[in-house]
Each structure stands twice: as structure tokens, then as C-alpha cells.
Amino acid sequence: MTRAVGARAPVRVVASGRRTAPSTRRVAIGVGASAALALGANFLGVTSRTLTAFAPEFARAKRLDALFPVDGFARCYAPRAGYEFVVPMDWLVDQTVTLRNARRGVESLDPPELRKGRAREVSEPDAAYGPRGTSGEENVSVIRSSVPRGFDLSVFGDANRQAEWLLANVLAKPGSGKTGELLSASQRKGSNGTVYYTFEYTIRKGDGAAPDGWFRHNIGVFAVRGDQLYTFVAQIPEERWPKMKETFFAMAESFRVFVPSG
């Protein structure tokens, strides 16, 4: 039969109560979109668990842990300042630590030789992190100080000599009421040629019983890149050290410096 010009094509009517089969393509697109949204938003920790289980090294190499925690750690990535390191995923930026370290003058870790011929700078930590709801005695911070371009920390000797000098002349110098003990000192070279000096030590003030007494375990990492001295310091009350030892060494070993990007 020939359809008349202008006549409408027959309309297919689906009986009430009956459902057509879902489109396989639409289902696939819907599932894919839902998965992408869940991963992108780290819904219920899905992305973190996925990266930790299947691609932790890839995630760290691509710095995805700056967005999604991997294996219990999140990355502090500061491209303009030129450094990075990881912290426990439940640690927060700690303003208390930042202000207190600034008042203490953390920049005094610079050897006197580095301060000759220039005004002493009062530097606040570039980054400071600590556990939620604590007094700030458990924390990690990074300080940047200016040094002459081409300066090399090796002029102060190997890692052991540098650490012993630091304890005796800065951290627990005579008359300070503090005593320090060096537990280990080592150095490593990064892929970009930067040498990192790592010191593990304890500092005690008083006997710990006095109101102002304390006993802390510390890991410090020092490195020079360009005209900047980077100081990474992680500290914790001595009684908590056994529980957090592996975490603190993981933070220290993750510390890297590089040419700032902006």
C-alpha cells in the first residue's frame, strides 16, 4: 500500500504495565559515569583503597597522593617552594605549631657561618602538620633559609660530624638546660643529585617531672638546592616513639627538594 503524502508514520504503542529492555549501552555509560564520580570524589575512600591496593607506586610517582591518600599517607606538595613529603592521612595543617616554631626561632638551626654578613631572618615554617586535637608536641615542619648559591653542607663534615656539632652548639648547647643524644646519622643522594643528611636524636629538658620538663624524639633532614637550605624536622614525645617510629622514618625518607616551578 502506498502511504499518502503528508500522512504520519504509525506510532508504536507500548502496552501499559510492560517495560522495554534497558539499553546495554546506556547501562554501561551509567555505571562508568558513577564509577568515575566515585573515584574522582574519593567516595567512601574508594579511590584511596583502589590506588593502595593496585597501584601505590604509580600513584606516588604521579603525586596522586596529593589528592587521594595512599597507603595511609597524604602528600604535602609545594611546587613553588620546591619540596614535598608525606604525612599521615589524618594529620592536619597545624597553625599552633607554625606560630610556636616561629616564636622559638627554628631558623636558629642554621650554623652561625651561614648567618655572617646578613641580617638574621625570622622564618616561619613553610609547612607544619600534626594530629588533630593534640598540644602540638607531635608534629612535622619544613623551614627554608637563604644560603649563598653553591653552598654545600659537606663543608661541615660527614653526617655524624654535622649532627654532633648541631646538638652541641645549637639544639642542646651548654647552659640551655637541655641534653641531647645522637642516635643515628646518614646521608643519601636523590635522583637530581641533591644530598640529604638525616639525623635521629633525642632532646631532654629537665628530668621530665618538672612542669616545664619534656623528652622528645626527633628526626631532622637537611638539604641544599640552589640558594635555599631546607630543614625538615619531625618531633614526638619519647613515650610515643615506639608506636610511631616507622611512620616518622617514612615521612623523613619521603622528603624531596627540587627546582621551584614558580
**Per-residue model confidence as pLDDT tens digits over 72-119:** 898 999 999 999 999 998 998 866 545 554 454 443 444 444 444 443
Q: C-alpha grid cell for residue 229?
A: 637550605
Q: How high is the pLDDT of residue 59?
A: 63
CB 255 within 8 A of CB 231: no
Q: How far is the C-alpha of 162 from the C-alpha of 8, rounded, in Å?
A: 92
Percent of the chain scored above 90 by pLDDT?
40
What pLDDT, on the 0 to 100 scale, is given for residue 24?
Answer: 52
Tell me the per-residue pLDDT of 229-256, one tens digit each, with 9 for 90 and over: 999 999 999 999 999 999 999 999 999 9
What does the angle CA 199 – CA 225 – CA 259 come to, to the nearest 5 degrees? 130
Enter the C-alpha cell of residue 6: 503528508
pLDDT of residue 136: 75
C-alpha distance from residue 20 to each of 13, 17, 53 (Å): 11, 10, 39
Q: What are phi and psi of 123, to 5 degrees?
A: -105, 130
Residue written as grid cell 608536641: 137
Indicate whether 188 pLDDT > 80.
yes
CA angle 216, 217, 218 (to 5 degrees): 115
- Cell numbers describing residue 118: 646578613
Can you point out the beta strands (E) in the chain? Answer: 73-78, 83-88, 91-93, 127-131, 139-146, 178-189, 195-205, 214-225, 228-237, 256-257
Give the model's confidence band at 221: pLDDT under 50 very low, under 70 low, under 90 confident, else very high: very high
Higher pLDDT: 1 or 59? It is 59
Question: Model pTM?
Answer: 0.70
Q: What is the pLDDT of residues 117-152, one digit of tens each?
A: 443 444 567 889 999 877 778 999 999 999 998 889
Q: For the beta carbon of residue 17, count every other beta carbon within 10 angstroms.
A: 5
Asked whether residue 228 carries a pLDDT value surpassing 90, the answer given is: yes
pLDDT value at residue 99: 57
Q: Which whole number is the average pLDDT over 157-174?
A: 92
- Residue 63 backbone phi and psi in degrees, to 5: 60, 30
Q: Which among 168, 136, 163, 167 is positioned nearest to 237, based on CA atoms?
A: 136
Please give the span between the terminal C-alpha atoms of the chain, in angstroms, as a whole number. Answer: 76
**pLDDT number for residue 150:** 87
Write down the H helix ranges in the chain.
24-40, 46-54, 56-61, 95-104, 159-166, 241-254
The pLDDT assigned to 239 comes to 95
**Domains of the chain in sequence order:** 22-71 (no CATH), 88-257 (3.40.1000.10)
Kindly tell me if the per-residue pLDDT of 47 is higher than 60.
no
Mean pLDDT of the chain: 75
How many angstroms separate the CA atoms of 228 and 116, rounded? 16
Mean pLDDT of 183-207: 93
208 pLDDT more than 70: no
